[in-house]
């Protein structure tokens, strides 16, 4: 495993639609492991392959229970992610992104989503997500479609030190 460089705006790779994953070979497994290590080191709660300059429809997400911090975090690897269903209810919250350093924004997202795709071994997965986990999946799935949170934000700004600390916690 090795750390990969996270690219940032204005790199044009971030604005392109990614290619479908078709092979789950050793090279793909190495990519998944590298993405997990890179996400954790950043630190982040999600990472899409285009963020490390790899134009594949692949995301990794690691998130713990909001109400029970003692519960271990759950790791998701989803190739070819698609949001197959979503709630009508939407929630606006602050988002940040490893590829858009130094800025945050208010983004409206669906409260619940169903994510379909393939796991790291090419087997179908279906994930029902709500709250922050649903937000993370929507954010990362946008990345593989060449969309950044700043494109959806109603307001974007540079956070104060206090705001940055609250967002990081």
* Catalytic residue status for 140: yes
- CA gap 112, 133 in Å, rounded: 9
Among the listed residues 36, 44, 29, 46, the one whose alpha carbon sits nearest the alpha carbon of residue 4: 36
Do residues 57 and 70 lie in contact, with contact meaning Cβ atoms separated by under 8 Å?
A: no
Rounded alpha-carbon distances, angstroms, from residue 167 to 111, 115, 142, 148, 150: 19, 25, 21, 18, 16
78 burial type by CB count under 10 A (0-12 exposed, 13-18 middle, 19+ buried):
buried
What gap in Å lies between CA 59 and CA 50, rounded to an integer? 9
In the set 140, 161, 162, 163, the catalytic residue is: 140
| Gap between the Cα atoms of 155 and 153, Å rounded | 5
Q: For residue 93, how many C-alpha atoms fall within 13 Å in the half-sphere facing its CB?
A: 17
Residues belonging to the active site: 140
């Amino acid at each position: 495993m090795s750390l990969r460089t996270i690219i940032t705006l204005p790199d044009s790779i971030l604005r392109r639609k990614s290619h479908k994953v078709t092979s789950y070979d050793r090279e793909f497994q190495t990519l998944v492991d590298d993405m997990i290590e890179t996400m954790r080191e950043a630190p982040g709660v999600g990472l899409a392959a285009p963020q490390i300059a790899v134009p594949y429809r692949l995301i990794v997400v690691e998130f713990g229970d909001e109400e029970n911090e003692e519960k271990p975090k759950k790791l998701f690897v989803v190739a070819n992610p698609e949001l197959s269903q979503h709630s009508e209810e939407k929630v606006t919250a602050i988002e940040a992104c490893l590829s858009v350093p130094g800025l945050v924004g208010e983004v409206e997202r669906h409260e619940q989503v169903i994510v379909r795709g393939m796991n790291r071994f090419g087997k179908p997965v279906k994930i029902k997500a709500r709250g922050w986990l649903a937000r993370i999946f929507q954010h990362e799935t946008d990345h593989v479609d060449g969309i950044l949170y700043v494109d959806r934000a109603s307001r974007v700004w540079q956070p104060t030190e206090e705001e940055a600390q609250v967002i990081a916690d």
